[in-house]
Amino acid sequence: MTLNKTTVKAGFKTFCINTARFAFILLFISLFAHFFGQENLLPSIAIIVALLTFPACDMELKPGSMTFLLFFFFAGSGLVSALSLINVWAGLLLNFVFIYLMMAFCSEPSVLRPHIIFLLCYIFCQSTPVTGHAFVLRMAGLLAGAATTAIVTAVSWKIKGFDPARQRSLKEQAQLCRKKDHAFILKMTLGLTLAMFIGMAFGLKKPLWISIVVMSLTQIDYSETLTRIKHRSIATLAGIVLFVLLFQMLVPEGYGGVLILVLGYIGNYQFAKPYKYQQLINFMSALFASLVLFDLTSAIINRVLCLLTGILIVVAIRHLGAFARKTFFSPMAPGPENQ
């Protein structure tokens, strides 16, 4: 089968865009780590996702409202996560309140799922605690990230000419989120609060492995949750096999980081976008990074246990919610006194 010029041109354009995008991501993360410290590398991932996402999307928010959300939740992620780690019970309350606020203001537009970006920032900050000078650098990095994203977003929205009549204030945004997705907001809040509590109570070295699972699997439609559980579980098992095959048998020692970069680059292409393929790439990347703290066997066991814990949290909260609705909110059957 011959390829026509249009197909070749489109393919080359896609290659150039994906390569430039990936190079920009690597450059941004490297510069962030250089200026704000390696301890703050994970939050930079949430910032670069925000920088690449919000300017391109019509959030239907006033620019001032968007700016407030960026500063409040990015800077708040650094501050609240640090305070939540002082005491496990105080952390339980702080995590619940902050995550609830995040969901109550950022779960719309639901098709864009803006809450995911802010939740990522908080999960990354909460799972990699810093103190002293590193904390000061973290707050500076989060503020700089919020400012950069706010400026680029405001300019981009103005250039794109998004309809001002559709742009909501903060009050209107909160009303829309709670009206459309309140059950979803509560499920996500309870699930992540419990995941973080378990991580703190047991002193897990990688608490984000539970939180990320809960965040990913908690969906408005429970059938989508079940589909994601299936794909994530299969990706974990396949990832273990592929990881051992590639990193322990085929790829020479010292070249694992190069392969991880290649996998990350492949993830930019459309054929790798489906959830199950993304999870396979993410699993191998996370497993490779965890070898700094664990041997391979321990890393695999910890990853699988965290996956199972996250699945149990999501399923348990869903069934508790269904039980509560049936028990306390279902209409009363007509009795003699109601007839």
In a domain? residue 5: no
Task: Please report which confidence band the pLDDT of residue 249 belongs to, taking 50, 70 and 90 as the band edges.
Answer: confident
In a domain? residue 191: no
The structure tokens listed for 146 are 């919020």
* Pair 150, 18 in one domain: yes
* Pair 52, 94 in one domain: yes
* Pair 167, 20 in one domain: yes
Question: Looking at the predicted structure, is the pLDDT value of residue 163 above 90?
Answer: no
In a domain? residue 235: yes
Cβ(106)–Cβ(177) under 8 Å? yes
Helix (H, G, I), strand (E, B) or coil at 218: coil
* Pair 231, 321 in one domain: yes
- Span between the terminal Cα atoms of the chain, in Å: 74
For residues 151 and 55, give the distance between their C-alpha atoms in angstroms, rounded to a whole number. Answer: 9
For residues 55 and 225, give the distance between their C-alpha atoms in angstroms, rounded to a whole number. Answer: 29
* Pair 164, 76 in one domain: yes
In a domain? residue 83: yes
Question: Looking at the predicted structure, is the pLDDT value of residue 180 above 90?
Answer: no
**The model's pTM:** 0.90
* Pair 217, 73 in one domain: no
In a domain? residue 29: yes
* Pair 159, 294 in one domain: no
* Pair 165, 232 in one domain: no
* Pair 133, 235 in one domain: no
In this predicted structure, which of 34-43, 130-139, 233-242, 284-293 has the lowest mean pLDDT? 284-293
* Pair 266, 149 in one domain: no
In a domain? residue 4: no
**In terms of residue numbers, what domain contains 127?**
13-173
Mean pLDDT, residues 233-257 taken together: 87
Q: What tens digit of pLDDT does each residue of 13-66 get? A: 888 998 999 999 999 999 999 999 999 999 999 999 999 999 999 999 999 999
* Pair 158, 260 in one domain: no
Number of domains in the chain: 2
In a domain? residue 190: no
Mean pLDDT, residues 193-202 taken together: 95
In a domain? residue 198: no
Question: Looking at the predicted structure, is the pLDDT value of residue 332 above 60?
Answer: no
- Which of the two residues, 273 and 107, has the higher pLDDT score? 107
Q: How far is CA 82 from CA 105, 107, 123, in A?
A: 22, 24, 12
For residues 49 and 131, give the distance between their C-alpha atoms in angstroms, rounded to a whole number. Answer: 25
Task: Please report which confidence band the pLDDT of residue 338 belongs to, taking 50, 70 and 90 as the band edges.
Answer: very low
pLDDT at 268: 81
Amino acid at 211: S
Domain boundary among 157, 173, 189: 173
Cβ(285)–Cβ(263) under 8 Å? yes
Q: Which residues contact 228 (CB under 8 A, 6 or more apart)?
A: 216, 217, 219, 275
Task: Please report which confidence band the pLDDT of residue 265 belongs to, taking 50, 70 and 90 as the band edges.
Answer: confident
Domain boundary among 128, 156, 173: 173
* Pair 140, 232 in one domain: no
Mean pLDDT, residues 118-126 taken together: 96
Domain boundary among 158, 173, 188: 173
Mean pLDDT, residues 118-131 taken together: 95
